[in-house]
Amino acid sequence: MSGVLFKAACPDCRSRFELAAGALRLAIGGSRRTTFYSFTCPACDSTVRKPAGERIVELLTRGGVRTLRLAAAASQPQPPVRN
């Protein structure tokens, strides 16, 4: 989808603006805490990171935002190192 714009706001300078899909990044982790989107505020140049629930993930991916899948932590313990 070309031409998709997403409304966003900066918590630091409180500016409101629209961003193209290329200005956003989506990281999908193994939990709600590790799933988020991020962008750089065009007004104050701050890096902004916000949580992304299922609906936000769906909207961003449909809109063409690049997605990074974070590796899940190993659920099994590592074998001991032997000398």
Report helix, strand and coil shares of the chain as percent, to nearest 5. Answer: 15, 35, 50
In percent, how much of the chain has pLDDT > 70? 83
Q: How confident is the model at residue 3 (pLDDT cuts 50, 70, 90)?
A: confident
Burial class (CB in 10 A: 0-12, 13-18, 19+), 65: buried
Tell me the C-alpha distance between 81 and 3, whole Å: 53
**How confident is the model over 17-54, as pLDDT tens digits?**
999 999 999 999 988 889 999 999 999 999 999 999 99
At residue 39, φ and ψ (nearest 5 deg) are: -160, 170
